[in-house]
Amino acid sequence: MIIKKKIKDLQETVNGFKKNKKSVGFVPTMGALHNGHLFLINTCKRENDICICSIFINPAQFNNKTDFDKYPKTIENDIALLEGAGCDILFLPDTAEMYAENEQLLHYNLGFIETILEGQYRPGHFQGICIIVDKLLAAVLPRLLYLGRKDYQQCMVIQKMMDLKKYEIQLHICDTVREPDGLAMSSRNMRLNTEERKQAVSIIISLKNIQQTLAAVNIEVAKKEAIHYLQQKGFKVDYVEIADTITLQPVIHWDGKQPLIALVAAYINEVRLIDNIAL
Ligand code: AMP
């Protein structure tokens, strides 16, 4: 696997492959890799000649300094996993490479989608993501971009940013990879102690409960029951929302046909977990 730390070097290498008519797919990550990330890498490898992964813990997308400081870092293990998965190029920049000193940061007109859910509870989070993903895409210009459904709103936001910037890049949203008990894999799961890890499964149980009862109860009741369930299991709930799959506009009355998604964000002690399920 080729490792590049500078944008210029990365571009030179990628352009070399493109000149040889190789198709390029791209998987951006923040490291602390697990099987969810590797599923994206494997899908990217299958669908492209060249698979590029980036690892960069982007300070601009953390609205909480402790969360940033405590974000897991396992770079040696990450490199071994990527090599094992056959990743062709790892882009591993430092903060100075991605952010110039006193840089005037772009602002993206994301509209409604950044005001709700994660946007409401993590102000500036999606602007921070767009800044870095935009820079990464501009450097790599892949044919396909691979993102995970676990971060569903992030997928919608990045699609919007790519539309605004007129990138001709196709977004491939990959299914959420889960632990055997159903917990969505996440780098943040490494921060859970044994007891918290046991409780964490309640997130997917609350979502499955919504999935099973939605036709029988109305949306407000389904949401209230899920919040109550999570609180009983010791969670501090940021939101349980049932929304339109495309716009993420919360839905109050369901006609039984509109495609819906249920989304949860909740803390178990210090660790904030998110998940979602199609209804
Ligand atoms: P992160 O390193 O958390 O920024 O995630 C990098 C990419 O991996 C994002 O597109 C995530 O949505 C995706 N991802 C994270 N967890 C999972 C998972 N359990 N299943 C599938 N994709 C995931």
- Residue 167's pLDDT is what? 98
Find tokens 């060249």 and name the residue: 50
Q: State the distance from the centre of ligand 1 to the C-alpha of 9, rounded, in angstroms.
A: 26
DSSP 1-15: -EEE-SHHHHHHHHH
* pLDDT (average), residues 78-106: 96
**Residue 155, both tokens:** 């997928």
> pTM of the predicted model, to two decimals?
0.97
Atom of ligand 1 nearest to the CA of 150: 12
* Span 181-200, pLDDT tens digits: 999 999 999 999 999 999 99
* Span 193-234, pLDDT tens digits: 999 999 999 999 999 999 999 877 899 999 999 999 999 999
* pLDDT (average), residues 113-128: 96
- Residue 67's pLDDT is what? 87
Per DSSP (E only), the strands in the chain are 2-4, 24-29, 50-55, 89-91, 144-148, 170-174, 235-244, 260-268, 271-278
**Mind telling me the catalytic residues?**
37
Binned at pLDDT 50, 70 and 90, residue 24 comes out as very high
Q: State the distance from the centre of ligand 1 to the C-alpha of 157, rounded, in angstroms.
A: 15
- Residue 9's pLDDT is what? 98
Residues with Cβ within 6 A of ligand 1?
29-30, 36-37, 39-40, 147-148, 150-151, 174, 176-177, 184-187
